[in-house]
Structure 1
Amino acid sequence: MPIKDQIKNLAKKFVEDHPDAATLRALVRARKPTAIRFDDDGIVPNNPHFPVLLYRGAVNLKTRRFAPEVIIDTLFDRHGWGRSWRDTVYDFVHYHSQIHEVMGVARGTARIECGGIKGRILSVKAGDVLVLPAGTGHRLIESSRDFLVVGAYPQEGTYDECTDTRERPEASKRVAKVRKPKTDPVLGAGGPLLKSWRIKPSRS
């Protein structure tokens, strides 16, 4: 999301009541994510090294003490994924060529297309978390009226938004250079992302 949305969200966070580390641990379910790989489809590059990760029911949001979006936002921040925003997902195909993105569903349900128009439509609901490696095309297909996502980014990387097919050749080069993050946004330093996102050695 643009910097203005991140600033707006930052202002909210200053006045919110956040769960502490122990409470967060109790609300997170240690789920093994589903890994989905997408090839370059000629329109969006997707990622040549890392798969999309879908954590089903990763966060227990059934608590009255904290708002669902606050729980997810705090979780991502604790694990080093910041510059967060809270909104819906754009309904046009786009991707980020210089940074990875995590999206946690705080409220409602949706169908999100990943991998570009030749990719796959994923149904998500509150408590699910979707990690999109740099280059992954995505867009909203449909959602419930109350649909709300918390998005965030790892510490390394620069936010950009690619939508023009003419950008793909240069964007593909940038995507290939984006490094693996240091932590899993859901489960931290020991999370499954670190094992799943391994660059396979090239064959000579």
Structure 2
Amino acid sequence: MTLSLSIPSDTAPETFSFADDGRTPNNRLPVLVYRDLGTAGEITAEAFETVFAANAWPPQWRGGVFAYHHFHSNAHEALAVFSGQAELVLGGEAGQPVRLAAGDVVILPAGTGHCRISASADFELTAAYPAGYGDWDICKPGETDHDRAAARIAALPTPAIDPITGAEGALAQLWG
């Protein structure tokens, strides 16, 4: 049986902002982190994927986060943790550590650096991208042409729908 999460549209995320550091472009849009969504039994990959799909962010894969700094220049990304916990650094090599646990979702605007620092053995997440942007790239600081990546990031449209709270959710308010 697949459970679906019931998430009120007024659920408020934490926000983090990161400036371009010369190696990782980051984004003028803030990172959004939703905490503690669901209860035991509700926190499943399928439940998050159902919410993502209903909000026009088709799920693309399941797994973890690379243990090297990277960003995506051609797609925004939503990561929903359904098992375990991890510490990521967001914002590039000199960014900010952020701890995530089962039930947490992080929405990364294109260009936002991210890297796994540590994780429990059972850490797993599911990832989604706005409809039409499933062909995401992997860019590494120092190996990717920074100016070309920044231009791709600037040209991306802002998604109309928050992958967690829908059309009236925080993304429309904070990214709009």
Q: CA–CA distance in 2 between the matches of 1:178 and 1:156?
A: 11
Q: Quote the offset at 1:164 in angstroms.
A: 4.9
What pairs with 1:97-116 in structure 2 (closer than 5 Å)? 97-116=73-92
- RMSD over aligned CA atoms reads 1.6
Higher helix share: 1
Q: Quote the offset at 1:55 in angstroms.
A: 0.7
1:119 aligned onto 2:95: yes
**Amino acid in the other structure paired with 1:43:** R
Q: CA–CA distance in 1 between the matches of 2:59 and 2:164?
A: 16
What pairs with 1:97-176 in structure 2 (closer than 5 Å)? 97-157=73-133, 158-165=135-142, 166-176=144-154
| TM, length-normalised to structure 2 | 0.92
1:45 aligned onto 2:22: no
* Contact 1:156-1:181 at 8 Å conserved across structures: no
Q: CA–CA distance in 2 between the matches of 1:107 and 1:67?
A: 8
Structure 2 portions without partners, runs of 5+:
none
Identity between Structure 1 and Structure 2 (%)? 36
* Contact 1:111-1:142 at 8 Å conserved across structures: yes
1:96 aligned onto 2:72: yes
Q: CA–CA distance in 2 between the matches of 1:53 and 1:89?
A: 17
* Contact 1:61-1:71 at 8 Å conserved across structures: no
| TM, length-normalised to structure 1 | 0.80
Structure showing greater relative contact order (alpha-carbon pairs closer than 8 Å, 6 or more residues apart): 2
Higher strand share: 2
Q: 1:83 to 1:68 in 2, by over 3 A?
A: closer
* Contact 1:50-1:197 at 8 Å conserved across structures: yes
Q: Quote the offset at 1:168 in angstroms.
A: 1.0
Cα displacement string for residues 165-191 of structure 1 (whole angstroms, at most 9, x for unaligned residues): 242110011111111111101111111
Q: CA–CA distance in 1 between the matches of 2:137 and 2:70?
A: 10
Would you identify which runs of 4 or more consecutive aligned residues in structure 1 move more than 6 Å? Answer: none
Q: CA–CA distance in 2 between the matches of 1:153 and 1:120?
A: 23
* Rg (Cα) greater in structure: 1
1:82 aligned onto 2:55: no
Structure 1 portions without partners, runs of 5+:
1-16, 199-204
Q: CA–CA distance in 2 between the matches of 1:98 and 1:112?
A: 21
> Alignment length, in residue pairs?
173
Q: Quote the offset at 1:141 in angstroms.
A: 0.3
Q: 1:77 to 1:181 in 2, by over 3 A?
A: same
Q: Quote the offset at 1:42 in angstroms.
A: 1.1
Cα displacement string for residues 140-167 of structure 1 (whole angstroms, at most 9, x for unaligned residues): 0000000001111001434111115242
